[in-house]
Structure 1
Amino acid sequence: MTTTQLSGLLPELEVIRADFPILSRTVAGGLPLVYLDSANTSQKPQVVIDTMVDHLERHNANVARAMHTLGAEATEAFEGARDVVARFLNAPSRDEVIFTKNASEALNLVANTLAWAGPLQLGEGDVVVTTEMEHHSNIVPWQLLTERTGATLKWFGITDDGRLDLSNIDELITERTKVVTLTWVSNMLGTINPVAEIARRAHEVGAIVVVDASQAAPQLPVDVVASGADVLVFTGHKVVGPTGIGVLWGRRSVLEQLPPFLGGGEMIETVRMERSTYAPIPHKFEAGTPPIVEAVGLGAALEYLTHIGLDAIHAHEQTVTAYALEGLATIPGLSVLGPLDAADRGGAISFEIAGVHPHDIAQVLDSRGIAVRAGHHCAKPAHARFGVQSSTRMSSYFYTSLAEIDALVAGLEYTRSYFKLS
């Protein structure tokens, strides 16, 4: 690659890598760790680890209940994290930010409450539209919803080059369509989808737009207003935050029409034996003791990403992805699933090597200290579309170096020789 092509790399990459303790690990008998599984879960910078430890050591208490200093400090930290998320998403109001266990729970919250009651309730004859490239978490809840309500599930297909096939958009999104739900960035194909364009069409027929931003939030500037989403979800562990914390953002007008998802403490206004009334958003959807320290860690993670800059992170990802696509193209028998232009994709690249099972590829790479994922990546329909059972997936992030991509390419060349491929 030319110097111009590499201009997107973060100039402070080595300083950034030093923020992540795990990246200095050795594995496989002393080899340096090459971590290329960030689409699965990202690594955590020291500031996130320290923030969570400090909270547990000095401020641990339940929120919104305890009438003492620690309780006040815990509540301030927890609600402060909500403010950070709102700024990160350019949300019009902090009250539109709901903490969940993960993105899967957030999607299930929406799909389930749309089946229960209220002005937005789905019924027989209504249509939910999704896509063939979704993570299972954005397929199964909608299958359950349509089975329970008598609504119909339809979906956009995928073109041969790994993009959404929008040629029949007017046939899929009609006056019967009540929900359009799609991933912003595919976790398998890496495809970046035209969310705003699809949202405009959905809104023309009065449909709600639900966006899975689990792969977008880590690597793209996410503006919920500009996206056209009515609901948007992402998960903490993919944005250098902890596991056990997710985010559901929703337009106030949508959230206020949905019934509560779980019942219990904090989500109530008052409880009588005859009936209960419920707290306003966001607490209406946050029953019981929330993931307090996880939310605090997520706040620290998003502040860290904001400090680096999502535009800079995206530019780095595009450069590393382009470099990886160029390197993978040199491996005989290797085929990439998804777009081959880095400008149109995220950092996850799924591929096959003719004659070698993906699990075998991953195991050989692991023996050389290189961490990738093998399997269907919770995207079986997308694999079926391309006639494959599974694939190997490498996924970079803003802490990935070009030397690590070189190590991957060398590891794949070694894999071919190991299996004696001609």
Structure 2
Amino acid sequence: MKTTTRTPGSLPTGQTAEKGFRSSWNGSRYREFLLLIAPLLLFSAYPLLRSFEHAGNSGVFGGVRMTGALIALSAGCAFIARFAGPGRRFYLFAGLAFFVAGAEDLAAGFLELAGASLFQAPREAVLRSSIAFRTLTPLLLMAPLVISAGKGVPRRPGRELLPALLSVPLIIALTLYAALNGSPLPFHTLLSRPLDFLSAALFTAALIVYAREFRRSGESITWWLGLSIGVMLAGQSLLLFSREIYDPFFAAARVCSILGYAASLLGFSLHQLSVEDDQNWTVFRMSAEVDRINAAYLEDVVLEKIREVADSHMATILAMSKLAESRDDETGRHIERTQELCRVLARKMRELPRYASVIDDAFIENIYHAASLHDIGKVGIPDAVLLKEGALSEEEREMIRRHPGIGAATLERVR
């Protein structure tokens, strides 16, 4: 995992970009190219739209607009709820922008539906407020760049949330006031609608800002936001050629808005899934590491206990063999000779294919030490019999013959 330090105009310090199947796309160039080319591809529908003459009605457009509003509000709430706490300005203000655009679309869609069924809605007011809000949306999208340039990286991200949320209704109120109380705007040529043209220019600037942020951070959600802005830029550009409300260019602009909202919501969903995958993968790796450490520790503990038991048994063997040697010198030398002979015999037997897989160094070492106990039963024979210099009576011979049984019984009790 690579930790990157953010610049004042970017995301906060300490964010991480995972590689592989993580949420980072590593800023690949062809995705940047797609961001910039998407508006041109959509705008290429201009000749086709120009050939259409059919115009829609307020009822249809009201329903379409309210559908887009619900998507935009969902995207706005999702971004605000997810990124407000961490202080991710680019995503927080993107959420505010979608929320404002969705609220405007919801209100305008309601007026259009009402105008179609109940009363004659003020079409001029609807149109002018819509144009004003289309200018406000890219301004909110570029707000993080302006704030970061002035304030730098937020030290306490949570403190920015309340001012940002409180500023939204104030901006909405000022926008509506300017839209509804300003002088009427001509509606027939490109440059005679300065707010509409300004909105397209601002969307272009916002697209460049998010494309640069994607190049720097490589996060997939930034790419999806850039794609959303690019689609809405195409719609705003097509709207410049609209000569009548609800004409094909107007309809294409509304469709592009819905697609732009949907792209942001889809990007957010994919981002959350990738983050969840990252978290699950991290938990899996941590769990595997804990299991590995526990297994290694347990293995060490078991081996240590085995060594302790082996050392204890070896100490017992040595003590008992010394006890047997202490009875007389001949018995001690006999034990030593038996140990050496057993070791030599075991080594020779290991050379035979039949025993090669059974007899190893540990086996030979065990045989060597165990051989010292073969006469341990003699400790149960009285000294008068064991150390007698002359010939033994039959009764004494019988006592000597019992020493293997005495030794076996003794070793059984030790085990």
Considering the TM-score relative to the shorter chain, is it more than 0.5?
A: no
Give the TM-score normalised by the residue count of structure 2: 0.22
Please identify which structure carries the higher helix content.
2
Larger relative contact order (Cα-Cα within 8 Å, sequence gap ≥ 6): 1
Give the TM-score normalised by the residue count of structure 1: 0.22
Please identify which structure carries the higher strand content.
1
